[in-house]
Amino acid sequence: MSVQSPISSVNDFVVRFANVNGSGSASANELFARSILRHGVPVSPRNIFPSNIQGLPTWYEVRVTEDGHLGARGGVDMMVAMNPQTWDKDVASIEPGGYLFYDSTKPMPTSKFRADINVIGVPLTAITNSTYTDPRQRQLFKNIIYLGALCALLDMDPKLVEQLIGEQYKGKEKLLSSNVHALHLGRDWALQNLKCPIGLQVKKSDKVGDRIFIEGNSAAALGAVYGGATVCAWYPITPSSSVAEAFTSHCKKLRHDPETGKAKYAIVQGEDELASIGIVIGASWNGARAFTATSGPGISLMTEFIGLSYFAEIPAVIMNIQRAGPSTGMPTRTQQCDIIACAYASHGDTKHVLLFPEDPAEAFEFAAQSFDLADRLQTMIFLMLDLDIGMNHRLCRPLKWDDARQYDRGKVMTAEMLDEPGRDFGRYLDVDGDGIPYRTYPGTHPTKGSFFTRGTSRDRYARYSEEGAVYADNMQRLVRKFETAQDMVPRPLQANAAKPTKYGVIYFGSTAPAMDEAIGLLESRGHQLDRMRIRAFPFHSSVASFIADHDFVYVVEQNRDAQLRQLIVNENGIDPVRLVPILHYDGTPITARFIANAIGDHQDHLKVTPLRKAVS
């Protein structure tokens, strides 16, 4: 079957693999993405998977992007349709002129195809069954065989793929040779039976540079290692579990005493999220750097302790890898939907510091920085990732560290300081006006510096008190501390449009790559936008200035209720009308097309509609 105008593109297309969860396809699909990287061509892959172990549909999408666009694009140029259950949906998602790659062992009726796409059948099951007898081998090698066929169809260099397989199975010769053999089976069949290459092609380039390919969760975990975290307590929950698992893995390699072999870290899988954050708070209270990783439902469970951390002023770090809520929501789908829940977590008047990294490199930096911030501010720090950053490989700049960097342990009074003549230690005394008091670690001094930590109200010397003035004094100091935090957290990054404009856009976190691309698409439609990427809460004063400098500011986020916009309005007293929400919340990563269409349509509307109607 053929169409008149098949898509023709070099190093710029989207391949989507439709598989069945548990079929062992993940490693083959990831190998495909890495192979393209080895050609010097940037890729942006994404897992779309169900919240079960086996049997349900799973997709893996590889965006091949010479221009380096790392956001999701939307649309599929080639569908590798390996799941009969999702066949109709998969076929329907192919762009006109695109390609359908399928297992042609069993003939398919013409009605199962589309007239405007190109169909490529490879008898994968037949090839596999004629070579392998073991059922598990048949399942696993079928994935490598289709990878081999794709190599031929896309004109990829088989040596680069073999090299990757060699690295993956280093020291396991039997596995290495059998995988290479399967790769050749698929490639040879395609070369002999199909017209290779097709319109979509991978050509060697030099656009990857020294960038690395890493998942956000792994990078954040490495940031915790470099940031000096010694205690990790966690409870498994998608999509955050791989943070703790990566921390364990990194620590095993990097954190053992060379002489004794003993661990310079402690990792405990708690019985639940409550225990995990309790362990973190206990460790932090006692002077260790500690963190937990969780997701929205875990945050819900931890809120009691989060309030204690705020009020008793105990440093701690929570890495929140957000997923679609509320309740159990969609556990394996991405959103940025815990902004309000984390910013004001717990009962009473609370405010918490949030950090919003855009990619793994920033996840690494912010994770390390979060421990300095927690110690300096003596409060809870939330590192806000989401599934899209956390569980997908991203191409990003190499991770960097300054060996001269020292940890900022904040205001900790030592025994020597306590003995200084005239020194007055009060646990909640604001001695220098920044709202941050000194603390002591347990065991510091035989007679000075001890105090009682509690979640109930107390005076500046940590003595229990229910006096209204004493309570208000403490709460006001906490406000001062939060104001101090404003200049300590990562500042927003701002970029102006090519031409002067009255419009701006604010965004954060995993939206960044799609926004970078969307700006270009909007420019091509004649829309100029200044942009600001917010990287932390509390908001820097430049956020309000940015909004004040524009007639309208779009706020792009991945949740239903415009949570960042709410926070900006609430904290900065800004007229909500001036902030136009652009919201994407179906659980898939936001795309450049979506942003450009949503903002572009609004801008077009503004040109012809009175202001009041445009914003109503």
Partner 1 sequence: MTYIAKPKFHHPGLPKNELGYTHRDYEGKISTLCAGCGHDSITASIIEACYELSIEPHRVAKISGIGCSSKTPDYFLGNSHGFNSVHGRMPSVLTGANLANRDLIYLGVSGDGDSASIGFGQFAHSIRRAVNMTYIVENNGVYGLTKGQFSATADRGSKSKKGVMNTDNAIDLVAIALQLGASFVARSFSGDKSQLVPLIAAAIRHKGASFIDVISPCIAFNNHAGSTKSFDYVREHNDAVNRLDVLTGRDPITVDYAPGTVQMVEQHDGTRLALRKIDADYDANDRLAAMTFLQKHAAKGQVVTGLLYVDPDSEDLHTHLDTVETPLNTLEARDLCPGTAALEKINASLR
Positions in 230-249 near partner 1 (CB under 8 A):
230-231, 233
* Environment class of 153 (CB within 10 Å of its CB; exposed 0-12, middle 13-18, buried 19+): buried
Task: Give the amino acid at 501.
Answer: T
d(Cα 409, Cα 359) in Å, to the nearest integer? 26
Cβ atoms < 10 Å from Cβ of 456: 11
Q: Does 326 sit behind a cis peptide bond, omega within 30 degrees of 0 on the bond before it?
A: yes
Residue 287 CB, nearest approach to partner 1 (Å) = 4
Strands 353-355 and 536-537 come out as antiparallel
The residue (of 302 and 505) whose beta carbon lies closer to partner 1 is 302
Q: Which stretch binds partner 1 (CB under 8 A): 59-67, 94-102, 134-142, 276-284?
A: 276-284
Q: Which stretch binds partner 1 (CB under 8 A): 61-69, 110-118, 405-413, 492-500?
A: 405-413
The interface with partner 1 within residues 297-326 (CB under 8 A) comprises 304-305, 308
Query: Residue 252 interacts with partner 1 (CB under 8 A)?
Result: no
**Ramachandran area for residue 509 (φ above 0: left; ψ -120 to 50: alpha; else beta):** left
The residue (of 209 and 526) whose beta carbon lies closer to partner 1 is 209
Query: Residue 534 interacts with partner 1 (CB under 8 A)?
Result: no
Query: Residue 271 interacts with partner 1 (CB under 8 A)?
Result: yes
Q: Which residues contact 492 (CB under 8 A, 6 or more apart)?
A: 532, 533, 534, 535, 536, 539, 540, 542, 543, 546
Query: Residue 576 interacts with partner 1 (CB under 8 A)?
Result: no
Sketch the per residue contact string, 20 through 39, with partner 1: x for CB under 8 A, - otherwise: -----------------x--
Residue 232 CB, nearest approach to partner 1 (Å) = 10
Instruction: Work out which of 152, 221, 225, 522 binds partner 1, going by CB under 8 A.
Output: 225
The residue (of 375 and 516) whose beta carbon lies closer to partner 1 is 375
Residue 425 CB, nearest approach to partner 1 (Å) = 13
- Residues touching partner 1, count (CB under 8 A): 76
The residue (of 206 and 210) whose beta carbon lies closer to partner 1 is 210
Query: Residue 275 interacts with partner 1 (CB under 8 A)?
Result: yes
Residue 450 CB, nearest approach to partner 1 (Å) = 5
Query: Residue 169 interacts with partner 1 (CB under 8 A)?
Result: no
Query: Residue 390 interacts with partner 1 (CB under 8 A)?
Result: no
- 176-183's contacts with Cβ under 8 Å and 24+ in sequence apart are 178/141, 179/141, 179/144, 182/131, 182/141, 182/144, 182/145, 182/148, 183/144, 183/145, 183/147, 183/148, 183/151, 183/158
Cβ atoms < 10 Å from Cβ of 174: 8
The interface with partner 1 within residues 428-467 (CB under 8 A) comprises 440-447, 450-456, 459, 463-465
Q: Which stretch binds partner 1 (CB under 8 A): 39-47, 151-159, 393-401, 582-590?
A: 393-401
Instruction: Work out which of 89, 211, 480, 491 binds partner 1, going by CB under 8 A.
Output: 211
Query: Residue 410 interacts with partner 1 (CB under 8 A)?
Result: no
Q: Exposure pattern of 467-501 as b/e (b: 16+ CB <10 Å)?
A: eeebeeebeebbeebbebbbebbbbbeeeebeeee
Tokens of 452: 């009682």
The interface with partner 1 within residues 72-111 (CB under 8 A) comprises none
Residue 475 CB, nearest approach to partner 1 (Å) = 19
Query: Residue 266 interacts with partner 1 (CB under 8 A)?
Result: yes
Query: Residue 347 interacts with partner 1 (CB under 8 A)?
Result: no
The residue (of 214 and 374) whose beta carbon lies closer to partner 1 is 214
**Three-state helix/strand/coil letters over 601-616:** HHHHHHHHCCHHHHHC
Residue 539 CB, nearest approach to partner 1 (Å) = 30
Strands (E), 68-215: 76-81, 94-103, 118-122, 200-201, 212-215
Residue 70 CB, nearest approach to partner 1 (Å) = 15
Strands (E), 300-402: 316-322, 353-355, 380-386, 393-396
The residue (of 445 and 593) whose beta carbon lies closer to partner 1 is 445
Run of H or E residues at 291: strand 290-294
Q: Which residues contact 137 (CB under 8 A, 6 or more apart)?
A: none
Q: Say whether 324 sits in a helix, a strand or coil.
A: strand
Q: Phi and psi for 77 in degrees, rounded to 5?
A: -90, -35
Residue 42 CB, nearest approach to partner 1 (Å) = 12
Q: Which stretch binds partner 1 (CB under 8 A): 118-126, 168-176, 404-412, 562-570?
A: 404-412
Residue 513 CB, nearest approach to partner 1 (Å) = 18
Cβ atoms < 10 Å from Cβ of 14: 24
Residue 316 CB, nearest approach to partner 1 (Å) = 10
Query: Residue 206 interacts with partner 1 (CB under 8 A)?
Result: no
Q: Say whether 439 sits in a helix, a strand or coil.
A: strand
Tokens of 261: 């072999």
Instruction: Work out which of 192, 260, 327, 616 binds partner 1, going by CB under 8 A.
Output: 260
Q: 544 and 553 in contact (C-beta within 8 Å)?
A: no
Query: Residue 489 interacts with partner 1 (CB under 8 A)?
Result: no
